[in-house]
Amino acid sequence: MGRLIERITPFVVMDILSRARRMPGVIHMEVGEPDLPPSDRVREAYMKAVRDGRFFYTPATGLTELRERIADYYRRRYKVSVHPQRVIITPGTSGAFLVALSMFTDRDRRLLLPDPSYPCYRNLAYFLDSEPLVIPAGRETDYEITPEAVRETEGVGAVIVSSPSNPTGRLYRRETLRELITVSEQKGVHFISDEIYHGLVYEGKEETALRFSDDAVVINGFSKYFCMPGFRVGWMILPGQLVRKAEIVIQNIFIAANTPAQYAAVEAFDEGHLEGVRKTFRERRDFLYSALKGVFEIDAVPEGAFYIWADISRYTGDAAGFCRRLLEEKAVAVTPGMDFGSNETAHHIRFAYTRGLSELEEGVRRIREFLGL
């Protein structure tokens, strides 16, 4: 590690969070985890696993039954065929990213990632002593990485795309996704599709990268749509020839994910419950987007995830200061854009709608007051 690990930065949002936690009556519009519970079936399966003493290690690649259930989910939901042996269970998607990036990046094979994007991507590259290659994916490219950008870069080991995206809530167009995968494969670059916000889609329809190629690496997990963040269970779907390598890495760096939580996750694919989750977040998105679009400029129309990426430049160019003052003066917590990169992030903030409507309403009221509207 040595040099690059020193460049891992704490999230600004974490400092805001810890300040917000010490204050009374804060409206939380900064939190990136769902407030809804998983289904009762999940909870009961978890209790049963604990009652039955399922406390031994699972295989490094995960519980067979869970891998099969996930493969089945791809068949039903996306109409793609995935052999269960290609499904690898990991300690959250964090674990999946770490294993995937360890296989695809190093000093000479860089990680191509969009700006703005989830801050852990670049920090994981630093952790692995690989210098990330950041390319713009903001307003100027309709919040997508362009296939041209991938075509033009050299020395890249993997490219990572998240759709719906954190922090913008944007979906990649089907054609862009297909073309990105094609270009990546032509160049021998691994395409990593972060699909953690799949399911939380309110406009259009999300498509798994596996629809376009079996060589795409898909990463997903139970922390968002499935409302099980503290379970720390994720998965990754790999091309068959990489499974053994990933297994060996996992044996050594994790052993396996938590065992009872894996048993619980087998019951997570409960369509009725999941559709209820989606509807709840869609209502919140509808409310918050319409309430904020008169207040800020929001050209990234939020189509999925639970975020809104708002341009505050009509008020200030200092998003961090804006967030700090908003918290101190009105007790509303939001995330400054700079956590997500440097592409126009100084005048953007990210809202999360991971709280109920009445809390969101009160948040909007305070923001309008803060701005003198």
Which residues make up the interface to a second copy (CB under 8 A)?
1-3, 5, 8-11, 14, 33, 37-38, 43, 46-47, 50-51, 53-58, 91-92, 94-95, 98, 102-103, 105-109, 119-120, 123-124, 127-130, 227-232, 247-249, 251-261
> How far apart (Å, rounded) are the C-alpha atoms in residues 107 and 190?
16
> How far apart (Å, rounded) are the C-alpha atoms in residues 281 and 198?
13
| Contact by Cβ (8 Å): 359, 27 | yes
Tell me whether residue 42 or residue 137 sits nearer to a second copy (CB atom).
42
At its nearest, how many Å lie between a second copy and the CB of residue 50? Answer: 5
At its nearest, how many Å lie between a second copy and the CB of residue 103? Answer: 7
Q: Which amino acid is at 183?
A: V
Q: Which two tokens stand for residue 5?
A: 């690990």
Tell me which residue of 23, 33, 31 sits closest to 330, measured CA to CA.
23
At its nearest, how many Å lie between a second copy and the CB of residue 311? Answer: 27
At its nearest, how many Å lie between a second copy and the CB of residue 182? Answer: 26
Tell me whether residue 1 or residue 23 sits nearer to a second copy (CB atom).
1
Tell me whether residue 239 or residue 317 sits nearer to a second copy (CB atom).
239
Tell me whether residue 255 or residue 317 sits nearer to a second copy (CB atom).
255
Q: Which two tokens stand for residue 125?
A: 């590259």
**Cis peptide bond N-terminal to 38, omega within 30:** no
At its nearest, how many Å lie between a second copy and the CB of residue 268? Answer: 12
> How far apart (Å, rounded) are the C-alpha atoms in residues 83 and 305?
27
Which strands make up the sheet holding 307-311, listed edge to edge? 307-311, 348-352, 335-336
**DSSP notation for 183-219:** HHHHTTPEEEEE-TTTT-B-SS----GGGT-TTSEEE
Tell me whether residue 102 or residue 141 sits nearer to a second copy (CB atom).
102
Tell me whether residue 158 or residue 360 sits nearer to a second copy (CB atom).
158
At its nearest, how many Å lie between a second copy and the CB of residue 93? Answer: 9
Q: Which two tokens stand for residue 306?
A: 């639970």
At its nearest, how many Å lie between a second copy and the CB of residue 210? Answer: 25
Region class of 246: left (phi > 0), else alpha (psi between -120 and 50), else beta: alpha
Q: Is 54 helix (H, G, I), strand (E, B) or coil?
A: coil
**Cis peptide bond N-terminal to 167, omega within 30:** yes
Tell me whether residue 75 or residue 107 sits nearer to a second copy (CB atom).
107
